Chains A and B, each alone.
Chain A
Amino acid sequence: MTMTMEPTTTLQHRWRGTTFANQVRILAGRSLRALVSDPKLMIFSVLQPLIMLLLFSQVFNGIAGTSSFPPGVTYIDYLMPAILVTTGVGAALQSGIGLVTDMKNGVLGRLRSLPINPSSVLVARSVADLVRTAVQLVILLIAAVVLFGFSPAGGVFGVLPAFLLALAVSWSLSWVFLAIGAWLRNAETMQTVGFLAMFPLMFASSAFVPVDGLPTWLRVIATINPLTYAVDASRHLALAMPVGSGVVGALLASAGLLAVGLVAAVRGFRRPLAV
């Protein structure tokens, strides 16, 4: 260690903190920088939905053309809008897990000893994860078009709103998972609970097969499963089917989740770290 003390610089005035918007921008930039400097993470996060796309498109291909399936639609065109939504939901869970990990490794302890608004940490993570999810979904869409021949009837103007809807659902759910993370503060529990909840939600929904083709008991679950509505809305947009009130319903539900999640996350996060 160097023994001489720092020279008395001309910048002796005290830095007194910065605006909330700046805090969010700086912290989100920090998270996104890791995305660029460590692209491995991004590749892995895209790999999983790509594998799902590959497996499901092969396994369930035969379902296209059956009576419960929308006529004239290929399975990949049916599947891809759902994969957008389920990938977004998975990303939302990762957001919550990321927050808990940061809490554990001490970085958040340091940030909390600084004169910044604790909520800026949450907002920054959520914004950075939104950008990350958007990039992830775009890569997936490109792969789906190039590798699997995804070409839904809605074209770009159908896929774009489907993509935005998936992002909106993901963002609102990320606040729910941030809230759970801020209260639970245990990454392993979150991971377990998250995946235990995710799988039934994904399969007991309209994501992979039409609800009408499911056994009765599953159909009941799928009908009350909120994911079904998000998936249906995304699919109807992409396939240029009549959307009805589905999109508005999905957006309203997302807005509701967002509001509840936001309040709960901020409250949970304000609790002392050191207990």
Chain B
Amino acid sequence: MTSSDKVTACALLILVGIGALSFWSEERNEHDREWVTHTLLVVEKLQTVRIDITQAETGQRGYMLTGKERYLELYSAGVQQVRGDMNELPDLIRDNPSERDAIQTLQPLITARLAELDAGIEVRKRSGLLAGAEAVTRANNGEKWMGQIAAQIGQMRQAEEGLLTRRLETEAASTTKIKAAIVLGNSLAILILLLKGLVIQKEIVRRTQAEENLKRSNVSLERRTTELSESNKELLATNVELESFAYSVAHDLRAPLRHIAGYSNIIAQDYGPLLDAEGLRFLKKIIAGAQNLGHLVDDLLGLSKVGQQVLSLEATPLDALLRELMDDLAPELAARAIEWRIGELPVVECDRVLMRQVFANLLLNAVKYTRKRDLAVIEVGQIMLNGERVIRVRDNGVGFEMQYAGKLFGVFQRLHKAGDFEGTGVGLAVVQRIVRKHGGRIWAEAELDRGATFFFTLGSSAIIPRTDPELANENEEEAMHVARS
């Protein structure tokens, strides 16, 4: 549960508490109202007692004076009512012990007063008006009883009202406290919820902003992607244009070059005898230069063609491809002492013709730069580097300085003097272009005068795993065979 959830739970708890408190408070108020009603009932009953006694007195007095039955009935009804009232009173006030005592006091007073009234009635019935008057006068207690009764009832009323007042005061005090608690609790809950609302509001604003930011960066990302893909398209178009430009330049260079070479040769053939040795030497330089330029142009055309060529991929066993290639090269290499160490090679998904050119260029390269060795050793095999299958061509030739390794694959870049080793500096550029076209990489390691090693990959998807389990764990140069040419 997060702190935010805790705050919400707290506010809800407070609200539930306040609800319970309100209910309880309302229950108490209901109870209070019952008390007020009760007290009013008691006070009214006490009042009734007085009135009923007065009615009994009035009836008695009337009878005493007139002897009429009507008054006697009034009297009897009054007495009856007083008795009823006095029967009901204890029930009403049983909640108040002091009032019970007060009733104990009131009861005999009323009994005595009623007895006196009754005695007067009896005398009047028996002995007539005068005897009755005389008896009443003799007793002469009526006023005294009534005074005491009234005082007692007044006391009881006061006690009852006092009790009510005290009760109401107590209740009022606790009601005030409850009200305060309700107001305070409600305020607190409202405050908490307000704060919570504010926090939520802030969070909503924050999220909305984050969303907008995301949208904005998405839009800008899309725009950039579009721009990138557009400039990529432009780049591709430029590349295609460049390729075809290079092609047509190289192509158009061939005709004048052919003419230079051709006419130089004609001069040599037809007018050679007219030239002195120096003149002939210059002419030969022109012919050689034209020839050289011709090779450059042809190689450049070849390179440009590789760039434009669409790969025609097929599963190609490289060992078979290498065998064919070496058979074809054999006549050219007949004069050389070369020890070939050919290891296992994978089957790869590649353009067969272009892959043949890769191996041809690399092998001829190795052959060329081992020329000064009595026994040239050229190895072809595969190794695993960081989980990647790498094909390797290694020789024990003149090598090169590693600081120039970066120039190795550049067009027309050569690391050796033309006088030492012939070549146009395009062969490795072609190799690199073909390897890259296959999604692979090529690099070289060498040590001056110790030989060079070329490594290349063909992209992970190009390698077709062999089912032969023996090859599963091969590392390098397994099942190597050695051939001498």
Asked whether A and B interact, the reply is no
